[in-house]
Amino acid sequence: MFRFPNLAWPKRILMALALAVLLASSGLIAKPKPAGHYGYGKAATAAEIAGWDIDIRPDGRGLPDASGSVEDGEMLYEDQCAACHGSFGEGVGRYPVLAGGEGTLTEARPEKTVGSFWAHTSTLFDYIRRAMPFTQPSSLSAEDTYAITAYVLYLNDLVEDDFVLSKETFAEVAKLPNHGNFTPDPRPDVDAKRCMKNCKDPASVRITSEPTILAEEVAEDTPVKAASPQEQGAEVYNGACAVCHNQGVAGAPKLGDKADWEKRLSAGEETLIKHAIEGFQGQSGFMPAKGGRMDLSDTAVAEAVKFMLAESIN
């Protein structure tokens, strides 16, 4: 499957490994296991390992003892996922599409989703648990992860609305439709030759494509050292606040939503700045202190709030 042209394995280590394997398998090592050659670090206890060993494998190894239903998943998904991935998994803006796309893999613009492209349900459970929701990773309980995973399967028409996902029912849905369509790496797969003279007919040399977008439209971002407070506000907003306030994630007031911001401003700019710096539990959701970016100075957050107000109200 892989090519390793220059296997320069450290021979001593290999021999040590082989020896270790031999000793272990022949039962020659008395318990407790002796320290390694160097003996650095501490032995990891079962409890320590359990706290970090979060991965789920294709056969379901690693799944926690819990369960969650499509029904419960719907509400959780609407609350915690839909702002970015859309209520139907269609994706908002440039956020990933989670459902649909079946039969598009051979098209010019393939849509790769859980239903159309992924191979294993374990990957979905594992990824949601490790990395989502985007702004609050590692925050979902085992039950909620089961429920949301079940709901994403439902959005892809892979289970019925009464399905309950658990360690036990996992096997029924372990393989996703595109399972089996992944192949090992065959490279090098292109056999180019090193020709030096008259390698092709000069008449055949044509320009087949050039960038059609003007350089300015491509808007390649040069992060300039913010000169003015306004520029600093925009910079902080883009780096630390846009992730929630652009789409209205988790109940955040959207940039440009004049009505919402005017209502909030009636409490006074100072209050809004205070809430942004110290964090704020409001009617629509929870605003983490400094958007979770404790490295930002109070002034930087204040400039971001002023920028948000200026963009939304004027």
Partner 1 sequence: MRQKKVEELDKLVSSIATAGDKLPTVERRQFLSQGLSMLGGAAAMVAGGTALAATTSKYAPPNVPPWTKTLGQGVIADPYGVPSPFESNVVRRNVPWLTADRIASISFTPLADLKGIITPSGLVFERYHAGRPEIDPDEHHLMIHGMVDRPIILTMDDLMKFPSTSMIRFLECPANGGMEWRGAQMTKLQFTHGMLSCCEWTGVLLSTILAEVGVNKGASWILAEGADGALMSRSIPMEKALDDALIVYAQNGEALRREQGYPIRLINPGWEGNTCIKWLRRLEIGDSPYYQREETSKYTDLMPDGTAREFTFVQESNSVVTTPSPENPLKGKGKYWLEGLAWSGRGKIKAVDVSLDGGINWRPARLTGMIEPRALTRFGMEWDWDGSPALIQSRSIDETGYVQPTYTQLRAVRGSSSIYHKNAIHTWRLHADGSVTNVQIS
Cβ pair 71, 163 in contact under 8 A: no
Reported as type and span, the H/E element at residue 313 is helix 298-313
Q: Compare residues 4 and 182 and give the one whose CB is closer to ligand HEC.
A: 182
Residues that bind ligand HEC (CB under 6 A): 80-81, 83-85, 95-96, 98, 124, 127-128, 132-135, 148, 152, 236, 240-241, 243-245, 249-253, 264, 271-272, 275-276, 280, 282-288, 290-293, 301, 304-305
Query: Based on CB atoms, which residue is closest to ligand HEC, 48 or 298?
Result: 298
For residue 83, the minimal CB distance to partner 1 (Å) is: 12
Per partner kind, with CB cut-offs from 5 to 8 A, the member of partner 1, ligand HEC, none near residue 133 is ligand HEC
- Report the alpha-carbon distance of residue 161 to residue 145 in Å, rounded: 17
Q: Tokens 């096997």 identify what position?
A: 171
User: How many whole angstroms separate alpha carbon 292 and alpha carbon 252?
Assistant: 14
Tell me whether residue 210 or residue 291 sits nearer to ligand HEC (CB atom).
Answer: 291
Residues 204-233 that bind partner 1 (CB under 8 A): 204-211, 213, 215, 218-223
- Return the beta strands (E) in 51-162 as ranges: 67-69
C-alpha span between 180 and 194 (Å, rounded):
37
Residues 20-39 within binding reach of partner 1 (CB under 8 A): 20-21, 24-25, 29, 33, 35-38
Sole window of 151-159, 197-205, 277-285, 298-306 interacting with partner 1 (rule: CB under 8 A):
197-205
In angstroms, how far apart are the furthest CA atoms of the chain?
78
x/- mask, partner 1, residues 38-57, rule CB under 8 A, reads x-xxxxx---xx--xxxx-x
Type of residue numbered 65: D
Nearest CA to 288 out of 227, 244, 231 is that of: 244
288 interacts with, out of ligand HEC, partner 1, none, CB within 5 to 8 A per kind: ligand HEC
Residue 138 within binding range of partner 1, rule CB under 8 A? yes
Give the count of beta carbons closer than 10 Å to the beta carbon of residue 232: 19
Question: Residues 90-129 vs partner 1: string with x where CB under 8 A?
Answer: ---xxx---------xx-x-x-x-x--xxxx-xx--xx--
Q: How far apart are CA 163 and CA 204, in angstroms?
A: 60
Rounded CA-CA distance 92/86 in Å is 6
